[in-house]
Structure 1
Amino acid sequence: MAALRSFSARADIEAILAARDAERIDVPVLQPAEPFLDTAGEELRRRIFLTQGQNGRAMCLRPEFTIPVCLQHIESKEASGRYGYVGTAFRQRDVGASEFLQAGIEDIGNADTNAADARSLADALACVSDLGIKPEQCDVLIGDQAVFDQVLAALGLPSGWRLRLAHAFGHDATLEATLERLAQPITMPQLPDPILQAVKEEDTAKLEELISTAMDEASLTNAGGRSASEIAKRLQAKFVQSQLVPEEAKLDILRKFLSISVPLDQSVDVLRAFEKDNMIDLAPAIAVFEERNKSCIAAGLDLGSITYNASFGRRLDYYTGLVYELRSLSGDVLVGGGRYDRLLPLLGAAKATPGVGFSIWLDRIVEASA
């Protein structure tokens, strides 16, 4: 199919999706805001267009399709489904219009997650090829949230550190800043002796009482919008962090891991060498990674043309494993996708439900193929 020159070819796009056994699905433009605010993360929250319904409920213009498609899947009570969509998304972007066409496929409920991951990536590549983008016109980059999480666990980093690092994954600047902060000891603020003693003894009730009394004496009902209870929790968390001695060796190992960037056909060997050299156990994550690579080969993918970058993640909080992007040679993201196994339970699914999918930025496809 010739490259799209306008968005009048919606029927052609729908035919491309249907050729991959994706059931056509439509989702309303106006969506409840809570699912996006609660599950998608700061990257999407700060970009959506919010409004309010007559009942006072927060609503938003549809900023993406994965969450609405998952919600409709849950309502259908089907065990599994492959859904194809094409429609307008609305969100603020650093470059480009805030109203733009997207298309994609969501594969929900497929228990063979490795095969589903491979098919998702293969479908994404096939779709952009059908839309006029040749393989030499784009780069394919993958990462893996689960491997990163396994490295954090294997290093034995404190849970608070792991949470902060996992949250920063996919944001290069934020991740590096977090590593820099973790390398520096945290000092406690100057506190009155009774409050400091309550913090050290983990006496939460006493600490809240002392803080509340101090606030009353200063004629403050709250401090910076925080209650005595919230201030107590923050002080206790900061004290725990102040007792942690920075472990430079572990942070150095983590930096070595994040520097890994190799063709996908070399990735398993490189990960095993990293595991051996640093004497940590990554066997469960590497086993899944290797099986997924085999599924990718079975799906007809050339692993040598795909780059695995250990620091690559996508800026949505619901991803749990494979993440990937197809980028134009100028660096624009043409397609983004990945696995989101924790999303459906968060949205109200009665049981654990796997999911993987991708979205195509059709306006960028036009630009890249021009």
Structure 2
Amino acid sequence: MTIPKRDKQAIGQRFLAAFREAGAAEVAPDILLPADTLLDLYGEDIRARAYTSTDPLRGEVMLRPDFTVPVVQRHMAGGAEPARYCYLGEVFRKQDPGEERPANPRDNEYLQAGFELFAHDREADAEVFGLFHRLLAPYGLQAVTGDTGLLMDAVRALPLSGARRDALLHHLWRPRRFARLLARFSRPAEARDLPSTSAPWAGLRGEDEMQARIDRLLADRHAQPLDPAWIARLERLFAVRAPLPGALAKLRDLVAEWTELGPAVLRIEERMAMLLAQGVAPDAILFDASHGRQTMEYYDGFTFSFVAPDRPAWPPVASGGRYDALTAVLGRGGRAIPAVGGIIRPGLVAELEAAR
């Protein structure tokens, strides 16, 4: 269904007005962004999704793939005080066609209307989710939540070396790579022959980086295989998917044998109570423990999305989450402030309205 751009803009303006009513100041980040910050955050994987080019003065640049990073940069440069921001504008993403070109490919340039909240407030997750829940209530969407912090705590609790845990955490958002690593760590370590040499160092990486890599490989030779019981626990955790109260019951069962998950599960319980105070019925929210593995890599806590159940090929109509660590990375001198936000795709909302 082809929706005129002006209709999508009108719907986006409607959401933008609602965000302003919620106390947010409107901002308009640049469309053309320096690529170095995004590459530092995401690694080279971002190239597969973003449009990049080279400017003779600015170096490598990128068409805006999302709003969160430039909004965080703007906020952290101004002092990291509590604040609310909103925005409306285009983002640009390459769409993966899979093995065959889809009959109706999704747009690679589309509108996002977003809301970001920076505050030392325990109820911020519930406030942002409650706002999105109220705005999207007329459209019959399914709310899905998760908690990346829960998954990260699970990985950190594995009886592995620090290097192996770091590798799993790095690939938590890449399920196939994560599974391959986990399978390798469950087998006896490979014997590696890395003899010393007097040959000169060569390559794109520095000598210190290459030596650190060699040291990690040498240390890994002595690592013990991961007990299959831990893999079974991870699989049980990743498979938790149920209405929020039922999912919490399953998570409590896991805590009985995996005590390190206790603080994260307690946070989820407290969040459920806060959502109830926002007028959100917990039974209507689906909790998917693997949800955090399908989101942007900078989310490190609560995550959410709103999906159209009768349109399985669609991306989420809205999505968001908590990204506390990102503010520390982009803040000056390691300064940080808790932050949570989300976006709505006005183009998809326009299609839902047109189909009524």
TM-score by length of 2: 0.85
In structure 2, what is the Cα distance between the partners aligned to 1:323 and 1:42?
24
2:356 is the counterpart of 1:354: no
**What is residue 342 of structure 1 aligned with on the other side?**
325
In the alignment, is the contact (CA less than 8 A) between 2:192 and 2:218 conserved in 1?
Answer: no
Aligned match of 2:52 in 50, 53, 68? 50
* One-letter identity of the residue aligned with 2:164: W
In the alignment, is the contact (CA less than 8 A) between 1:155 and 1:280 conserved in 2?
Answer: no
2:57 counterpart SS class: coil
In the alignment, is the contact (CA less than 8 A) between 2:150 and 2:264 conserved in 1?
Answer: yes
Question: What percent identity do the matched residue pairs reach?
Answer: 27
**What is residue 155 of structure 1 aligned with on the other side?**
158
2:136 is the counterpart of 1:128: yes
* One-letter identity of the residue aligned with 1:254: L
2:106 is the counterpart of 1:91: no
**What is residue 7 of structure 1 aligned with on the other side?**
8
Matched length: 336
Deviation, structure 1 residue 54: 4.2
Deviation, structure 1 residue 357: 0.4
Deviation, structure 1 residue 100: 0.9
2:263 counterpart SS class: helix
TM-score by length of 1: 0.82
Change (3 A) 1:349 1:292: farther
In structure 2, what is the Cα distance between the partners aligned to 1:283 and 1:102?
36
**What is residue 62 of structure 1 aligned with on the other side?**
64
Deviation, structure 1 residue 255: 1.7
Change (3 A) 1:185 1:66: same
2:239 is the counterpart of 1:265: no
**What is residue 112 of structure 2 aligned with on the other side?**
102
In structure 2, what is the Cα distance between the partners aligned to 1:61 and 1:226?
27
In the alignment, is the contact (CA less than 8 A) between 2:16 and 2:114 conserved in 1?
Answer: no
Root mean square deviation, CA, Å: 2.5
Deviation, structure 1 residue 245: 2.0
State how 1:17-36 maps to structure 2 within 5 Å: 17-36=19-38
In the alignment, is the contact (CA less than 8 A) between 2:243 and 2:283 conserved in 1?
Answer: yes
State how 1:193-342 maps to structure 2 within 5 Å: 195=195, 210-211=196-197, 213=198, 215=199, 222=202, 225=204, 230-246=209-225, 247-276=227-256, 278-313=257-292, 314-329=294-309, 330-331=311-312, 332=314, 333-342=316-325
Change (3 A) 1:344 1:165: same
In the alignment, is the contact (CA less than 8 A) between 2:244 and 2:286 conserved in 1?
Answer: yes
In structure 1, what is the Cα distance between the partners aligned to 2:139 and 2:319?
15
**What is residue 206 of structure 1 aligned with on the other side?**
none
2:40 counterpart SS class: helix
